[in-house]
Amino acid sequence: MKAYNVAVVGATGAVGREMLKVLEQRRFPVSKLRVMASPKSKGKVLEFCGEKLIVEDLNEASFRGIEIALFSAGASRSLSFAPKAASEGAVVIDNSSAFRMDPKVPLVVPEVNPDDAFLHNGIIANPNCSTIQMVVALNPIHKEAKIKRIVVSTYQAVSGTGAKAIFELEEQIRSWVAGEPMKCTVYPYQIAFNVLPHIDSFTEDGYTKEELKMLNETRKILHDPSIRVSATTVRVPVWNCHSESVNIETERDISPERARQLLETAPGVKVLDDPGKNLYPLAIFASGKDDVFVGRIRRDNSVEHGLNMWIVADNLRKGAALNAVQIAEVLIGRAKKEGNSSA
């Protein structure tokens, strides 16, 4: 099996570290791995498959000889360096929002639209974490009954903001226990013991950019601009894993039993749905897991063809690192089948 020269950009962040973990756990065929980050992280030591790796400063010469570059360094860094990496011959899989809505850049969830990955011109976009888990669960239902409208409310963990937000929640809880004032630097209000209906910045129409991502990305991934999406995204004091309350309206009737049957055989989905036994998806169940968990599947009796469901997934894994590595696996799988020497 061919092995590949791989770079992880933003390797010291929460998603970057998870990318290293996923690459190792899934035994991705790595010939040489380079880890890169901002100048302040230069010289730090990370571990991969028992080998100690020195973090390099990201610069114009970073991508010579690299075949696959996994980016988790933020939109501004991606805009600056992803085209450079692609020009050096690497396939870039970018976790930021920089290229997601670029019509020339495929936006890929392997369980939903894997073939789109092969339409790339050097850059492939990884969708937003909350969008990924929702479309994995909704895609089999959309294929069967065609979804007309989605109303989604998210309950998103602080790890979605990054390591600083995780630390802030920890520190606020410690301060509360000690009876000391809580400091707020990452979020505009305390996140400990609180709920913030505010993720990303607000737009003129009152929606946040996070909410508009769920609208625009869902349409692009499912290749259906007619789907109507109304999202409210909320930050909650949970360490890891995003939860979503999702209501759908379909063109054709689909029973909860049929939806459950479809989801039980869908790739990347695990159904936990037995309310009588208090069995339903929880963040503590999903953390560290690869699957998207779905439960509370029931009819919405307020419309003719409606369903409600509860969707939970690890936002650092399926919502970011795992999805990116799976895209790379799609590419090398095709390369292997075709006897191609490159991704």
For tokens 């509860």, the residue is 310
Looking at the chain, the domain(s) classified CATH 3.30.360.10 span: 131-315
Pair of tokens at residue 12: 């010291």
For residues 3-26, average pLDDT: 97
- Taking the C-alpha atoms of residue 127 and residue 213, their distance in angstroms, rounded to an integer, is 9
Mean pLDDT of 20-38: 97
Residue 126, pLDDT score = 98
In the structure, what pLDDT confidence band is assigned to residue 115 with cuts at 50, 70 and 90? very high
Question: Which residue in the list 120, 142, 241, 242 is annotated as catalytic?
Answer: 242
Residue 154 token pair = 């998210």
pLDDT tens column, 34-44: 999 989 999 99
Residue 256 has pLDDT above 60, yes or no: yes
Structure confidence at residue 335 as a pLDDT band (50, 70, 90): low
Burial environment of residue 151 by CB neighbours within 10 A (0 to 12, 13 to 18, 19 or more)? middle
The label of the residue with tokens 């040489």 reads 32
Q: Which of 234, 247, 228 is nearest to 152 (CA)?
A: 247
Per-residue pLDDT tens over the stretch 38-84? 899 999 999 999 999 999 999 888 999 999 999 998 899 999 999 99
- 35/45 Cα distance (integer angstroms): 9
**CA–CA separation, 81 vs 109, rounded Å?**
23
What is the predicted pLDDT for the residue at 60? 82
Q: What is the mean pLDDT of residues 262-286?
A: 97
Q: Determine the average pLDDT of the residues in 271-296.
A: 97
Q: Which fold has domain 131-315?
A: Dihydrodipicolinate Reductase; domain 2 (3.30.360)
d(CA 146, CA 228) in angstroms, rounded, equals 12
Per-residue pLDDT reduced to its tens digit, 225-245: 999 999 999 999 999 999 999
Cα–Cα–Cα angle for 296, 133, 211, rounded to 5 degrees: 100
What is the average pLDDT score of the chain? 96
126 CB-near residues (< 8 Å, 6+ apart) = 93, 94, 95, 108, 132, 320, 323, 324, 327
Does residue 142 carry a catalytic annotation?
A: no
pLDDT of residue 337 exceeding 80, the answer is: no
Amino acid at 316: L
Q: What is the pLDDT of residue 152?
A: 98
d(CA 115, CA 184): 44
Lowest mean pLDDT among 35-44, 102-111, 187-196, 288-297: 35-44
Residue among 91, 325, 323 nearest 217 (CA): 323
Q: In this model, does residue 286 exceed pLDDT 90?
A: yes
Report pLDDT for 330: 98
Mean pLDDT of 8-16: 95
Share of the chain above pLDDT 90, in %: 94
pLDDT of 88: 96
- Which segments of the chain belong to CATH 3.40.50.720? 4-127+320-338
Whole-number Å distance between alpha carbons of 133 and 127: 10
- pLDDT of residue 195 exceeding 60: yes
Query: How confident is the model at residue 340, as a pLDDT?
Result: 57
336, pLDDT greater than 90: no
**Residue 1 — pLDDT band, cuts 50, 70, 90?**
confident
- The CATH number given to 4-127+320-338 is 3.40.50.720
Classify the C-alpha dihedral 215-219-220-226 as positive or negative.
Answer: negative
Residue 342, pLDDT above cutoff 80: no
Q: Check 120, 129, 142, 241 and give the catalytic one.
A: 129
